Amino acid sequence: MKYLASHSILTFLSALLAVTMPFLCHAEPESKVRLKTVVLDPGHGGHDAGCVSKDGKTYEKNLTLSIARQVGNKIKAAYPDVKVIYTRTTDKFIPLNERAEIANRNKADLFISIHINAVDSSSPTGTSAHVLGPSSNKNRDTFSESMELCRRENSVILLEDDYSTAYQGFNPNDPESYIIFNLLQNAHLQQSLQLATLVQERMGEGPIKKNRGISRDPFLVLVRTAMPSVLLELGFISNSSDLSVLRSKSGQDKLAQNVFDAFSEYKEYYDESGIIENTPAQDGVSAGNGVSSDSGGDDGSVRYGVQVFVLSRKLPAGDPAFKGISCDSYKSGKNYKYVAGDCSSIAEARSFLRKVRQKFPDAYVVKIENGTVAPAK
C-alpha cells in the first residue's frame, strides 16, 4: 500500500512538472515586461455551492462570482490595456485543473482565486491570503485549521468525473497525498507573497478588519498555475457579522475595492521592476549576517535599495532565508519588508538589482523615505 501511495505521488509530480515546465521555461524576448493579463477565479460554481450560510440562503459560489466580477470591472475601467479573464462568468462548475489551465493557456501574469471561508463555530471572523507551498506555520492549532481549509477546498475534485485519473490518484482526504507538496518549490513565491501582503494590508481598512494573515498552503488550484498566484478567503459565511458584509452591496464593493487597490499597487511594482535579464549573471552580491534592526531613511533623506521579500514575521540576523545578503527590515502594517543595499540613486540600485537577482529572481528596486518603502519610479 505504501508503495502504491508513493508511486501515485511520484506520478502526480511528474504530470505536474510536464504541465508547468513549458510555461516556467518560457522567456519573453522584451527587455521590459508589463502586467498585461490577469485571471480572476470565482471559487466553486454549478453543483458545487461551496460554503453555505446557516440559514441556507447564501452560497459561497454566488458571493465569489459577484465579487470577482466587481474586481474585474474596476480593473477594466482603470487599465483598459489589461486583459481580464474569468474562469467562469456564470453559475457553472469548473474543475480545479481547468481553472489553472485557463490561466496557463492565456499566459496570464497573475492568478487570483476568490473564496469565502466557513467553520462550524460562528466566532471566527476575518480575511486571509494563501500562496502555494507546504504549511509554514508551526502553531499546531493554526496548522490544523489551514489543513482543514485545504481539505475542504481541494475536496471539490471529488465532484469531478474520474477525478482519480485527472489528478493521478491524489486524494484530498488522505494526509499522504500532501507529501508531494514538500517536494514542490513555488517558482513565483516572492511575487505571490507580495500580492498577498498588499491584499491583507488593504483588507485591514475594512469592512472586515480582522487580519488572519498570510500562509503557504497546498491548494490544488494553485499547484498548476505557472504565474504568481494567490487564493483569498474574504470573510466567514459562518460569522453573522461577516455574512452581513458579504450580503450587502456596499460590503462587496469595498472588498472588491480592496482587492483592486492591492492589484493596482502590485501592477505598479511589476511594471516598474519587471526587467528580464538576458545576460549571464555576474558575481558580486555582498555577503552579510542577514537582517539588521528596523531602520532606514528616518531623517527625511531618500535612499534606494532592492526589496527581496515580505514576511509577516521578523527574521533573526543570519537567517538562511537571506542567502548571505545583508538586509534591513522595515515594518509595514503587520508585515516586514526586507531590503538589501543602501544606494543614493535609482541607477545605482538598478545596477545592484542585477546582482541580487542571482539569488532572488523576483527582487525589485524600491525607494526608502522617512522609514517607508515604496516602488521606485
2-273: CATH superfamily: Zn-dependent exopeptidases (3.40.630.40)
Predicted pLDDT at 276:
35
Q: Tell me the domain boundaries of the chain.
A: 2-273, 302-375
Number of H helices, E strands in the chain: 10, 11
Q: Do domains 2-273 and 302-375 have the same CATH topology?
A: no
230-242: burial string, b at 16+ Cβ within 10 Å, e else: bbbbbbbbbbeeb
Q: Identify the three-state secondary structure at position 26.
A: coil
Residue given cell 508503495 in the structure block:
3
Predicted pLDDT at 26:
47
pTM: 0.64
d(CA 223, CA 228): 11
Predicted pLDDT at 132:
82
Q: Identify the three-state secondary structure at position 154.
A: helix
- 178 and 216 in contact (C-beta within 8 Å)? no
Please give the full DSSP string across 176-220, using - where no structure is assigned: GGGGGGGT---TTHHHHHHHHHHHHHHHTTSSS--EEEEEEE--H
Residue-by-residue pLDDT tens, the chain, 377 positions: 444 444 455 555 555 555 555 554 444 444 456 899 999 999 999 999 999 999 999 999 999 999 999 999 999 999 999 999 999 999 999 988 889 899 999 999 999 999 999 999 999 999 999 998 665 554 433 334 555 666 565 555 556 666 555 555 555 555 555 445 544 555 688 889 889 989 998 999 899 999 998 888 878 788 788 899 999 999 999 999 999 999 999 999 999 999 999 999 899 878 876 543 332 333 333 334 344 444 444 456 899 999 888 776 788 877 888 888 999 999 887 678 889 999 999 889 988 988 888 888 778 888 999 888 888 77
* Crossing angle for the helix pair 2-24 and 96-105, to the nearest 10 degrees: 20
Predicted pLDDT at 375:
81
CATH top class, domain 302-375: alpha beta
